[in-house]
Amino acid sequence: MTATTTVENLAPKDFASDQEVRWCPGCGDYAVLKAVQRTLAELGVKKENTVFVSGIGCSSRFPYYLSTYGFHTIHGRAPAVATGVKLANPELDVWVVTGDGDGLSIGGNHTLHALRRNVDLQILLFNNEIYGLTKGQYSPTSRRGTRSPSTPHGSIELPVTPASFALGAGARFVARSVDAQQAHLCDTLKRAHEHKGASFVEIYQNCVVFNDRTFSRFTDKDTAADNQLLVEHGKPLLFGRDRKRGLSMRSGCLEIEVVTVGENGVTEADVLVHDETNRNLAGLLASLDTPEFPVALGVLYCDAAASYDAEIHAQVEAARSKTDKPSLNALLRRGQTWTVAG
């Protein structure tokens, strides 16, 4: 066979399955789906080598709407199933789609360990701070005081911060983006894809029915500029409409403060420069929130290390290379044996 085949890059629509998308009208998931399809097209990946694994929840319907391989598993367990997929065939490009309930409540343990082990997966956590599919109960990321069917007097629990959780678990790639910010989301997804090892991407996703506008304080047109900090490696941590506000280390203590360039003798040299390989800085950025601080978006942390799947296969290969052709017959006869003659 000498026929040459030209591989043409697929268009975003080629990554759509023939299934009708069934999220609520106005759901942020539509925007994330669009961004993922666009990202896959722009990355030029092969459909047959791409696997989307999800748990249970609104976001976890995701695989049905993609034309790649997909596995809609059970509540919270997507990282574990995806780990098995990747261990069986490390050549596959494996994405996990989960939500704040799926990935941080029932499946928190699996998220923790997939990150800690550094399995080469892209884990997209859609955070809408609410249980949507079960009709609106508070979730582990809901703000204290959230009124929901199960907390009529307001939630009394402290929420978990997904990015801080991921960093605490030892993740080597932690990023954040917003459903409706398509360009930023696509760029972030590409970085996640490029990273070898577990990539954790928290996507702020609006639940139009049960928790509408919960992120409006930093995602609305009129609030975004002053309340979002779009971090970029090697660039000063500046934000604000006129990009005059920045983050600086408060001297003498491990705290960040917001300073304004040009006021009180502050110059741009006083503003911290983002170093995405600095885990401590990433920890500080992950914990920032309004109103005192902006919400940090982009790649908060990226510092690659050997992936779990690569290391497991390296051990297997090392063991295999020690013998020409391993024989089970020989293995069974290793050690003490005896023969009974006829």
Partner 1 sequence: MAHGKVAGGGDLRGKLPREVRDAVVIRFAGDSGDGMQFTGSQFTQETAMVGNDLATFPDYPAEIRAPAGTTFGVSAFQIHFGVTDISTVGDELDVLVAMNPAALKVNLNDLRIGGTVIVDSGSFTKRNLQKAGFDNNPLEDDSMAPYQVIPLDIGKMTLEAVKDFELSSKEALRSRNMWTLGLTLWMYDRDRQVTINWLRSKFKQRPEIAAANIAALNAGHAFGETAEMPNYAVGYSIVESDIRPGEYRTATGTQTMAWGLLAGAQAAGLKIMFGSYPITPASPLLHALAGLKEFGVITFQAEDEIAAVCSAIGASFAGSLGVTSSSGPGIALKTEALGLAVATELPLVVINSQRAGPSTGMPTKTEQSDLFQAVYGRNGDTPLPVLAAATSTDCFEVAVEAVRIAIKYMTPVMVLTDAYLANAAEPWRIPDIEHLNRYPVRFRSDPEGFQPFLRDTDTLARPWAIPGTPGLEHRIGGIERDSQTGHISYDPENHEQMTRMRAAKIHGIAADTPTQELALGDDSGDLVVVGWGSTFGPIRQAVKRARDEGRAVSHVHLRYLNPLPRNLGDLLGAFTRVLVPEMNNGQLATILRSSFLLPAISLPKISGKPFKVREVAEGIRSALES
Which residues of the chain form contacts with partner 1 (CB under 8 A)?
Answer: 17, 19, 46-51, 53, 63-64, 66-74, 77, 79-89, 91-92, 109-110, 112-113, 312-313, 315-316, 318-320, 322-323, 326-329, 331-333, 335-342
User: Which residue's CB is nearer to partner 1, number 75 or number 184?
Assistant: 75
- The smaller minimum CB distance to partner 1, of residues 30 and 71, is found at 71
Smallest gap from residue 132 Cβ to partner 1 (A): 16
Range list of β-strands (E), 10-147:
50-54, 69-72, 93-99, 122-127
Rounded to whole angstroms, the Cα distance separating 246 from 238 reads 4
In the complex, least distance from residue 309 CB atom to partner 1, rounded to whole angstroms: 9
- Between residues 112 and 284, which has the closer beta carbon with respect to partner 1? 112
CB of 215 to partner 1, least distance (A): 29
Structure tokens at 200: 């954790």
Total residues belonging to the chain = 342
**CA angle 221-226-230, nearest 5°?**
90
Minimum gap (Å) between residue 53 Cβ and partner 1:
7
Burial of 342 (0-12, 13-18, 19+ CB in 10 A): exposed
d(CA 107, CA 162): 13
Taking the least distance from each CB to partner 1, the nearer of 68 and 127 is 68
In 3D space, the residue among 108, 107, 147, 112 whose CA is nearest the CA of residue 130 turns out to be 147
Q: How far is the CB of 200 from partner 1 (least distance, A)?
A: 16
Residue number with CB closer to partner 1 (50 or 146):
50
Residue (of 226, 231, 220, 225) closest to 187 by Cα position = 231
What is the residue whose two structure tokens read 């917001």? 258
